[in-house]
Amino acid sequence: MTDHLKTDVVDGVMTLTISRPEKKNALTGAMYDVMSEGLERSERDPAVKVVLFQGDGDSFTSGNDLADFAAQSTANETTDSPAFRFIGNLAKATKPLVAAVQGNAVGVGTTMLLHCDLVYLAENARLITPFVNLALVPEAASSWLLPSRIGHVRAYAMFALGEPMDAATALQCGLANAVVPIGDVRARAATAALTLTQRPTGALRHTKLLMREQQEMVERIAEESALFKERLQSAEAREAFSAFTEKRKPDFTKV
């Protein structure tokens, strides 16, 4: 249970609202679990036809809670984390996923968009995947999906240099359907989601499955996750997480 993730089902649309604005919507284990429960329910409940992701406040999400990463980096044993459960559910989703994104979409905030079928960005949206800065590796099959969508060098600059991508560029690269004023982004995504609820469910399901190489994604996620868990416990990653907590630049020359 968490107050930071709200689930609503209205007119066939399940809306999952990330709501921890004071921490830029950083995602804790409990929040991932609520999103997983939503996605798992959407698969078995015919009343849910579409899932819509959105975030309260000025950011879509700042990604995984870095305090949680710091705790996992010193834990004696690594368990399968709620983040990996969520990522697995994204990859296996057969119902349409829609996103309304304003402000920063960091880490999984960007990689989850690669699993969404319709993406609407506010003009101030910024997609950021700072995995290497955190001494980690890309997740959610993004090591394959992002270069295949935007080309190797642009994806590499996002992963390795942590270069943000602005909304206009994301639209141009085909990562989004539209860029709209911030006040309109939720309504635009909600309208698209509602339109999808009126389409034949069977045709939607088969179309999505034909368009996504699900088995390959699951395999890539397994490969990434094994490396990710290993990296999470590296001295480099511990330095990156300490630096964030201490509000300083990491110094990887020491580790």
Residue 229 touching ligand COA (CB under 6 A): no
- Nearest to ligand COA of 65, 117 (CB atom): 65
DSSP 8-state secondary structure symbol assigned to residue 112: G
Build a one-symbol-per-residue string for 2-21: x at contacts with ligand COA by CB under 6 A, - elsewhere.
Answer: --------------------
Residue 67 touching ligand COA (CB under 6 A): yes
Residue 26 touching ligand COA (CB under 6 A): yes
- Tell me the closest approach of the beta carbon of residue 162 to ligand COA, in angstroms: 9
Cβ density class 155-181: b for 16+ within 10 Å, e for less: beebbeeeebbebebbbebebbbebbe
Residue 134 touching ligand COA (CB under 6 A): yes
Task: Tell me if residue 156 falls in helix, strand or coil.
Answer: helix
- The widest CA-to-CA distance across the chain, in whole angstroms, is 58
Residue 141 touching ligand COA (CB under 6 A): no
Residue 130 touching ligand COA (CB under 6 A): yes
Distance CA 36, CA 197 (A): 21
Distance CA 150, CA 155 (A): 6
Question: What is the separation of C-alpha 230 from the centre of its chain, rounded to a whole number of angstroms?
Answer: 21
Sole binder of ligand COA in the list 38, 88, 96, 107 (CB under 6 A): 107
Question: Where does this chain touch ligand COA (CB under 6 A) — which range of 41-49, 61-69, 91-99, 220-228?
Answer: 61-69
- Nearest to ligand COA of 55, 130 (CB atom): 130
Residue 113 touching ligand COA (CB under 6 A): no
Task: Tell me if residue 23 falls in helix, strand or coil.
Answer: helix
Distance CA 195, CA 45 (A): 19
Residue 65 touching ligand COA (CB under 6 A): yes
Residue 23 touching ligand COA (CB under 6 A): yes
Residue 62 touching ligand COA (CB under 6 A): yes
From the number of C-beta atoms within 10 Å of its C-beta (0-12, 13-18, 19+), residue 253 rates as: exposed
Distance CA 185, CA 190 (A): 9
- Tell me the closest approach of the beta carbon of residue 21 to ligand COA, in angstroms: 9
Site residue total, ligand COA (CB under 6 A): 14
Residues found near ligand COA in the complex (CB under 6 A) = 23-24, 26, 62-67, 104, 106-107, 130, 134
